[in-house]
Structure 1
Amino acid sequence: MNAAPSTGVAVVTGASRGVGRGIAEALGAAGMTVYVTGRSEREGECRVGDAVLAGTIHDSAAAVSATGGHGIAVHCDHGDDAQVEALFERVAREQGRLDILVNNAICIDDSLIEPGPFWEKPRSQAAILDVGLRSNYIATHCAAPLLLQSGQGLVAFTSSYGAGCYMHGPAYGAQKAGCDKMAYDMAVDFEGTGVAVVSLWLGMQRTERTAFAARRRPDAYGGIGTRSESPQFSGRVIEALWRDPERASLSGQTLIVAELALRYGLRDEDGRQPPSWRATLGAPREFHPTRVA
């Protein structure tokens, strides 16, 4: 497989803040044109309980451009198929191809980290299966022609160890496990096209939402600073994976970001080498190679 070109075009969904914004910034620092999508256009639009989470798609796009890339903000509700279709139609008009799609948009209910069985929690937690799983399918379906046009495309799902162990309850676990299997099956369909698909298990992220969780549940999330990863770290790993001339050999796999970083010789922005939690939280599942058309 040919190596990736010097610059690329990327779409990062759910990039108003947090993981998506950090990934977009890292891709921008590599000189890419990055479309950042999300619903937040004005500060104060995102709340977790009584807290307001900072960040808008416009801030994120500006941050991408500040790193040396070209950030483009696109308002997109990933629960609305028409808006998703319009997003990729715009990318087609303006760029003619797409090199990287990061499926990161997700609907997280405020009750996600609360203890207790699922039937005592609001049914709204199931929204993660719409924006977070179904939305990933729709985005990749719309992006596929552009990825094929690129010839060296990469689709990355942001997943977590919660796909393999109990974490935050069944809705969260089903969404993460679904991303892993979706990546595996999409890789089968993309086989031989030059497009690779992976699902990535991120470690605990240093984001404003995680900091809020630590304040709300210090029993479970205290001391995250010494164990967490920056969102930019995941973005740098994704960019390195895209450039990897052997990326086709990884297509269809669920990969741990911290372990991929070792493959590419990457450290986090503070110089630390984030650990893999494989021994503590489990390993990605290996799917059976049988194919039934």
Structure 2
Amino acid sequence: MPRELVGTVALVTGASRGIGRGIAVGLAEAGATVFVTARSLESGASSDAVGGALAETCQEVEAAGGRCIPVAVDHADDAQVEALFARIERESNGRLDVLVNNVYGGVRALRQSIGKSFWESDPGAWDACNNAGLRSHYIASVQAARLMVPRRSGLICTISSWGGLLPLFGVAYGVGKAACDRLAAEMAAELKPSGVTSLSLWPGVVGTEHIRELAEESRDANSSDPLLRSLASQTNWETPLLTGRVIAALAADPNVLRRTGRVGIVAELAARYGVVDAEGRRPVSLRSLRAVLPFALPSLATRTGWIPDLRAPWWLLLLAARMSPRF
């Protein structure tokens, strides 16, 4: 990978595993100094069986050629977040070039509510999805903007999901992700005059630790749920590193401001910037028939080569988004 981000300072929230770790490594490949956060520095502190540790993330970041600074932060605690940004300002001489809003606390709650209606689920799923998530993204963005605006440059990437447009993991998840897209767009309107870019990113189906575990469970249970059956087929999966390499490419793009306020599909940006995932592949876009048809009909998962890589236009997706408000 080109070392285009040497001297760049980045912060990736929620980076002990999964997409967050992949993002940190992708930025490191390009030479960035990367601050990474999670609730604990060491393994064994996670509330689920999947685990993950910042110490392991730092090993991968440094092996990729970057500098890693791990910080234990509970992003539901505003005082800890404020202290984090004060440390970044102090240690990087007021510089922060990239913020990646990735932290997310809702995975466990979502797994417990799969197959249930919102009224059958624990109402606590709302806070689990949107406190260490949407709210944390807003708080981190406030702090980041205070460093970026005076320097008239910076990139804020908010990790969102196509679940904000179409039903995926239920009400709490969908509303939160739709709000992430709106958050990025609203911030973009205010930040653009200062030269700071704000955008949201939609990864595809990413083979994180949780998704792999869920896919195995679905395969063992021979689930009839279309979403779970699709996961079990592992069709068109992305590695976490793909999102990281796309963000690194965005950060290195001198014309990135033209993308401010927009939603970017990771696979489409990967094609635009010529990057591939950890396995050397470039998955097709979420909008492609090659991705959509096997999701709807898992029996097609072994025949994707026969399906044309044609993308549905955005207007058609918006028309099909039955969850969007009607006026």
Task: Name the structure 2 match of 1:63.
Answer: 60
What code does the residue aligned with 2:101 have?
A: N
Task: Judge conservation of contact 2:5–2:31 (CA < 8 Å) in 1.
Answer: no
> Structure 1 regions of 5+ residues with no counterpart?
287-293
Matched residue of 2:177: which SS? helix
The residue matched to 1:191 in structure 2 has which SS? Answer: helix
| 8 Å Cα contact 2:41/2:71 also seen in 1 | no
Shift of 1:169: 0.3
> Partner residue of 1:216?
217
Structure 1 counterpart of 2:277, one-letter code: D
- Displacement of 1:109 after TM fit? 4.3
Identity among equivalent positions (%) equals 43
Tell whether the 8 Å contact from 2:5 to 2:30 is kept in structure 1 after alignment.
no
Amino acid of the structure 1 residue aligned with 2:232: G
Q: How does 1:45-124 map to 2 (within 5 A)?
A: 45-48=45-48, 52-95=49-92, 96-113=94-111, 114-124=114-124
Q: How does 1:129-140 map to 2 (within 5 A)?
A: 129-140=130-141
1:68 is paired with a residue whose SS is: coil
Amino acid at match of 2:204: G
CA contact (8 A) 2:40 2:73 kept: no
Distance 1:233 1:18, change over 3 A: same
> Would the aligned equivalents of 1:40 and 1:55 in 2 still touch at CA under 8 Å?
no
Alpha-carbon spacing, 1:136–1:285, altered in 2? closer, same or farther (3 Å): farther
In 2, are the aligned partners of 1:41 and 1:57 still within 8 Å (CA)? yes
Unaligned residue ranges in structure 2 (runs of 5+): 296-311, 320-327
Quick one: distance in 2 between partners of 1:93 and 1:79?
A: 22
In structure 1, the residue matched to 2:253 is 244
Map of 1:231 onto structure 2: 240
Instruction: State the TM-score, normalized to the length of structure 1.
Output: 0.90
TM-score relative to the length of structure 2: 0.81
Between the two proteins, the alignment pairs up a number of residues equal to 279
Contact persistence 1:35–1:61 (CA under 8 A): no
Counterpart selection for 2:278 from 258, 262, 269: 269
Q: What one-letter code is carried by the residue in structure 2 that aligns with 1:259? A: E
Once residues 59 and 233 of structure 1 are traced to their aligned partners in structure 2, the CA distance between those partners, rounded to angstroms, is 19
Partner of 2:144: 143
- How far apart, in 2, do the equivalents of 1:20 and 1:202 lie? 12
User: RMSD between aligned alpha carbons?
Assistant: 1.9
* Residue range with higher mean Cα deviation, 166-175 or 210-219: 210-219
CA distance in 1, matches of 2:272, 2:108: 36
Which amino acid is 2:145 matched to?
A
Structure 1 Cα separation of the partners of residues 213 and 97 of structure 2: 34
Q: Within 5 A, what are the aligned runs for 1:119-198?
A: 119-127=119-127, 128-198=129-199
Q: Aligned-pair distance for 1:217?
A: 2.5
